Structures are given as C-alpha cells and as structure tokens.
Amino acid sequence: MDYAFLQQYWWFLVSLLGALLVFLLFVQGGQTFIFAARRDEPLQRMIVNSTGRKWEFTLTTLVTFGGAFFASFPLFYSTSFGGAYWVWILICLTFVIQAVSYEYQSKHGNIWGKKTFQTFLFINGVLAPVLLGAAVSTLFTGGNFVVDKSAIYDLSSSMQTISVWQPDPLTGLQLHGLEAIFNPWNVVLGVTLLFLARTTALLYFINNIEDEVAYERARKSLLPNAAIFVVLFVAYVVFLMVTKGYDVDPSTGAVSLVQYKYLHNFLAMPVILIVFLVGVVLVLAGVILTLVKKGFRKGIWLEGVGVVLAVLGLLLILGYNNTAYYPSIADLNSSLTLQNSSSSPYTLKAMSIVSLLIPFVLAYIVYAWRAIDRKKITRHEMGQDEEIKY
C-alpha cells in the first residue's frame, strides 16, 4: 500500500459516504410533505413518524462524512470549512433545528406549538439538500481561495493562515462561500438534490407506511417530482461532460483547464462509467416500476442503490485520473488534489486499518434499519399513546 494507493482508497471511502448521505437525504425530502398532508392529521403524523425514525442515520452519516474528509484530506477541510464557512454554518444550523424539532414537537409543555417545529422541519427539508448540493457543486465549478502552505512559517503574521478566501469577483464582497449561489449550475445541483430527496422520500413512504390513502397520494406525487429531478439531473450531467475540467500534471502538479475533462475521466475509467450508468438505470427502474406496477412497494431499494452508485461514480471522476477535486477560480495552482491535500502516509495507513471495521458497522446499520421497519406505520398506531411518537 503505497502513498498514492492510500490517497485513492480514502477518496473512495469519502465518496461512498457522500453517496450514502445523498440517499439518506430522503428524510429531508419527506419533511417537505408535512404541510401537504395538513388536512389529514393521521397522515401527517405518519409522515413525521416515518422520517423521524431515520433522521439520526442522515445526521450521523453527515458527521462521519465530514470527519473522514477532515482526517484524510485536512487541507480541504481547512480551506472549505474554514473559508466558505457561511454555507457550512447554515447547513449545520438546519440540522440543529431538525434535531430540536423531532425531540420537542410533541413534548408536554411545548409553548411554541407543534406547527412551529414542523415549520423548522420543512425549512431543514428544503435548505439542507439545496445547500449541500450547491456546496458539492463547487467541487466541480471551483471555490474562490488561494493556498499558500509557506504561510504557516511566517512568524510575522498573527494568523499564519494557509488558505485565504478571496472577495467575490462579481460584487467585491467577502462572502465566504455564499458566492456559490451566483453560479447557476451550483443552484441547479442544489435543486436537483432537493427533488431527488423528495422522490426517494415518496418511494420510502410507499414502502414504509401501510395506508391506502398515503400510498395513492405518494404515487400521484411521484411522477412530477421524479420528472423534475430527471430533467435537472440530465442537464447537470450534460454540463459536466461538456465543460472544462481541472487537469493535474502528475510530474509537476501544475493545474490546467481541459475541455471535456470529466467525460475523458469516464472514458479512461470504464468501470466507474459502468457503475454510474447502472446507478442511473436502477434509479429509473425504481421509479418506473412503482408508477406502472400497481402494488409494487420495493422501488425504494432499486432507486436507493441506484442513487448511491450514480453519486459514487460522479464523485470518483472528480478526484481520480489526475483531477483537481476542489479547483480554485482565484489561482489555478492553488487547486486541491489528492496528492497535495491529503494526510501523511502514517495517518492514512493507521486509518485504513481502522476502516476494516466498516463492514461490521454497515451490518449493524442494516440490522437496526430492519428492526425499526419490521412493523409498518399505520393509522391505528398513530391513534395510540402519543408520548412515544414524534
């Protein structure tokens, strides 16, 4: 296991965690349907309970994703989290209000009322996927930063900051990551993630809630949400395939713009291309089978696996094949690559040994998931003791 192998191994693990996080955002997508069911209180409670039993999985995966990125590629962590901090603060804030809402909305003595906390859940459901999508899109479109590793040795400076975020070129303001919204493709990916989360949530409701009204309403909403997602997803993928990417010279480390870079990455790594295409097919199969086959309730598993594979494929072409995975629009050669931003060989090797426990953790997650979902959510259950309900 040489240094290059360890760097690529950890990029794979980080990409896999990111792909799993995108799938688990169905919790956020499900929360956006809370007020759509406001005239049917039992249905609304079923929706809240369905998502409420899984929100910890999403939050834990987000934290693990951030931790893995920090440990394996600390320069990215310090550059993005330390420079574009307004985006990450907003993301974290939405998850804080989500956790508080699930905990307190049905507690006795709640003076704010259940609707207030459900509004917080709706806000988290919309903003979390959009902001995460916009943040991830900057890995393709670039961030406005400059990296100077020698700054750490500058004793005359009080900060000794390696990565410095530059003012937004359009407004001249120091926006610290919020300038991402001025790139329309960042917004497109954010909205794409939102409608993917809503589509996955509808498939999850169909599988998780045992109620004819919920089933029919979910199937009715599935087509428009899936259609919007597909249109936006295809548009973004076409944009990636035809746009310029950030190529790294393996001998010098110099970064240059190359037309069709991400398309070339797919063609140079056909296994990853196959993984991506299989994922896309599974996503479409899960949605289409649910729409055309009456009573089919297992679309979530086809679509869920497809989401993980498709996102994994996109994230892998972002870092592999001599590609800068976090390009700088302020200074090309400040762009972050697997080679110039990773931890030391000792750290990566030590963490790789610990990563051998991942299959056991995944097995426990599968066990816990099955145990939670063994009994479907019903209207009768919602009529019982509310003390243990969300």
Instruction: Give residues with Cβ within 8 angstroms of 322, minimum separation 6.
Output: 247, 248, 249, 250, 337
**The domain containing residue 359 runs over which residues?**
3-382
Residue 217: CB atoms within 10 Å: 20
Is residue 206 in a domain?
Answer: yes
Is residue 138 in a domain?
Answer: yes
Q: Which H/E stretch holds residue 124?
A: helix 114-141
Do 12 and 358 touch, CB atoms closer than 8 A?
no
Name the average pLDDT for the chain: 89
- DSSP 8-state symbol, 37: G
Is residue 387 in a domain?
Answer: no
- DSSP 8-state symbol, 173: -
Is residue 388 in a domain?
Answer: no
Give the mean pLDDT of 72-87. 87
Is residue 350 in a domain?
Answer: yes
Band (379; pLDDT cuts 50, 70, 90): confident
Is residue 239 in a domain?
Answer: yes
Q: Record the pTM.
A: 0.92
CA 70 to chain centre: 16
Is residue 250 in a domain?
Answer: yes
Assess whether pLDDT exceeds 80 at residue 384.
no
Cα angle vertex 313, ends 311, 319, to 5°?
105
Give the mean pLDDT of 132-158. 81
Count of CA atoms in the C-beta half-sphere (13 A) of 208:
26
According to the model, what pLDDT value does residue 181 have?
A: 84
Per-residue pLDDT tens digits for 218-256: 999 999 999 999 999 999 999 999 999 999 999 888 999
In terms of average pLDDT, the best of 68-72, 107-111, 366-370 is 68-72
Is residue 192 in a domain?
Answer: yes
According to the model, what pLDDT value does residue 388 have?
A: 43
The Cα–Cα gap between 337 and 319 comes to 7
Band (348; pLDDT cuts 50, 70, 90): very high
The Cα–Cα gap between 54 and 56 comes to 6
- The two beta strands, 244-248 and 255-259, are antiparallel
Per-residue pLDDT tens digits for 253-274: 899 999 999 999 999 999 999 9
Assess whether pLDDT exceeds 70 at residue 155.
no
Assess whether pLDDT exceeds 50 at residue 386.
no
Assess whether pLDDT exceeds 70 at residue 148.
yes
The Cα–Cα gap between 72 and 75 comes to 9
Band (157; pLDDT cuts 50, 70, 90): low
Structural domains counted in the chain: 1
In terms of average pLDDT, the best of 145-159, 187-201, 372-386 is 187-201
Closest CA to 124 of 99, 153, 95: 95
The Cα–Cα gap between 198 and 33 comes to 8
Give the mean pLDDT of 169-187. 83
Band (160; pLDDT cuts 50, 70, 90): low
Do 58 and 21 touch, CB atoms closer than 8 A?
yes
Residue found under tokens 């929706």: 47
According to the model, what pLDDT value does residue 188 have?
A: 96
Give the mean pLDDT of 350-355. 90
- Compute φ and ψ for 107, nearest 5 degrees: -75, 145
The Cα–Cα gap between 160 and 151 comes to 5
